[in-house]
Structure 1
């Protein structure tokens, strides 16, 4: 019984407190309304409701990056002989960036040419046009090729052991392996050429000799290509963004030696939400603000729209391309992209500050013969300054844009211009 009495007492106290709070709130609200003097004119500013074109924008951020970036990796490993461009310098497509030592490759070229000559001699012999002198020459060439093969094989095996122990780089190993494979190919070709010359001429020997000529010719072209690859050129017009090599160092065929970027245009990737993506179209022009480049605003164009969301951000990637003929834009600069999502043309609009929201119902105050008339309105899209009024106002009606917090429906007002 005592416990019931205690609960009842607590309930009465809570109800009393709530009632007191509600009474205080209502009284204060009434007092505030009473404080607005409808007899004394309140100074206000007005602006006529006017027809405008309003755009609803979304501001999205991203970082600039070059329109193209190429990592320069030598196709042939070798020691760097000369470097002709450094970081920050402009290059054109075809400019020589650096060269690799070509002494060994030129020697291989001579050997490959000799191999082709031997193959042609063997073919002549196989078709019945050979001489004893040619046979002696092919024998000498075979002996020379065998010596080169043995030397290259031994050098490769030693280099491989050094690489496994960490004594030499991968670039050195690749260079040694390339020499060994070429020497092996030249030895096989010389051996086949000699064997053809000492056997009786028959269709099989002729076919084999022709195959050896083709193989030797291919080997020669391979070495020529390797020689060409000792001269490393820029594939694009651009600027050297990075350099990772020094003269005298070995440049590997798997490591980046330089990086060339094209900054004639720049890209910025932004993440659009699902309620935005269908309002963005390829070719749309957008305004881009890049504070690091000054006060100028840049125009960009939508060039790519991802058809699927990124699993991490749950947003759609949109790529913007910006002309950079001025050269003011650099990779990594912060960019703010202003995307137009909706637009209303020739509609009545008022300053956003004129619209008052009371529990989801919006109204403005309209000047009517020296008094303020409260007018409920329906609003639409808005930009940084103005909001569309789709219902409740007519063009050229004078809307109170400052001082409206001090008035109510029917308040006397006086218009000021300052």
Structure 2
């Protein structure tokens, strides 16, 4: 009986120790498995999936495109030579005019009164001449007969000469007044088209104030505004192409005719006139034109999305995928496009760059790449 009790007691102890060892072994194995799972998950979490693209390089000529407006080569701003109130306007915008046409008229009443006054002065001066001439003839006879002295005769000679000079003066004033009366009519000196009207009937204008703009018949050209840092490139341009927004599929060659010697004080750009070598007949004044200026040098360029640019201070850069990591590489950019930008230096054919989410990445970060070629 004591032997059975001892065996039972021993069996309970062994069972207790066996269960305890089994639980400890399970805990150790489970902990190792959980730790391994956590490390695997952490490694997986460090790998970021990014959208990428492979660079394909192409040769392209450097150039810029400017918006412009069709203008006439010769444009005249007309003004009255006298002041007054406008009482008549004979033209509208777009009217075709001929040389000598009366375009506007100002009220001539005051000028007419001045002309009338000058005319009366002419009549008065002519009367004085006739009187001085009669007196001179009488005194000449008396002088020849010895009835008067030389001094009295010379006085009448001088009076006659003064009267003649007064007639000339009055006639000149009358002619000047007549010219002023003619200036009350604004006439076209060249044939052309009315492109601007700045006054209306009833408005009082001063002499020299611009009232009309006329584009003279003849050559048409395109005016563009060019920033100061591209003037030399424009001078050296090998080719200039001009397209029109309203005329699809129409492109003509152009050449630089004139570059303004000074920049516009407001925009700080230079006005440039582009002559059209074979202008289309459908082209009209004021049309919007696109002037493409192509340089002579051809460079290896590629166009990438703007979202690919990572701005590092003042230097633009892109993330380049090398193996399974990324590296920041500085680039030199060119022209902007519709959501794109041209890269002139820094990328080579076959480079894979990140095209989205570039500001969330870090140098040397592990990534999983995918995408298409550019």
TM range (shorter): 0.5 to 0.7
Q: Residue 68 in 1 paired to residue 75 in 2?
A: yes
The DSSP-based 3-state class of the residue aligned with 1:198 is helix
- Deviation sequence 1:335-354 (CA, Å, 0-9, x none): 777778xx693433333239
Partner Cα distance (1:296, 1:401) in 2 = 38
The DSSP-based 3-state class of the residue aligned with 1:398 is coil
- Structure 1 counterpart of 2:95, from 89, 94, 102: 89
**Are the equivalent residues in 1 in contact too, given 2:86–2:107 (CA < 8 A)?**
no
Q: Residue 179 in 1 paired to residue 116 in 2?
A: yes
Partner Cα distance (1:171, 1:45) in 2 = 77
Match for residue 34 of structure 1? 47
Partner Cα distance (1:301, 1:30) in 2 = 63
Match for residue 303 of structure 1? 258
- TM-score, with length taken from structure 1: 0.49
Partner Cα distance (2:264, 2:167) in 1 = 57
Partner Cα distance (1:215, 1:237) in 2 = 37
Instruction: Give the unaligned 5+ runs of structure 1.
Output: 1-28, 101-168
Partner Cα distance (2:242, 2:65) in 1 = 12
Match for residue 21 of structure 1? none
The DSSP-based 3-state class of the residue aligned with 2:305 is helix
- Structure 2 counterpart of 1:321, from 264, 269, 273: 273
- Deviation sequence 1:159-206 (CA, Å, 0-9, x none): xxxxxxxxxx97422322232133224323432342232233555356
User: What do you get for the CA RMSD once the two structures are aligned?
Assistant: 5.6
Alignment length (residue pairs): 296
- Deviation sequence 1:308-360 (CA, Å, 0-9, x none): 673xx4x52411325585464445x77777778xx693433333239653745
Partner Cα distance (1:228, 1:187) in 2 = 24
Partner Cα distance (2:100, 2:56) in 1 = 64
- Deviation sequence 1:86-125 (CA, Å, 0-9, x none): 5422123x2322597xxxxxxxxxxxxxxxxxxxxxxxxx
Bigger Cα Rg: 2
Partner Cα distance (1:410, 1:290) in 2 = 50
- Deviation sequence 1:26-85 (CA, Å, 0-9, x none): xxx987642449xxxx9x754433443334x486x78777652423426598998995x5
- TM-score, with length taken from structure 2: 0.53
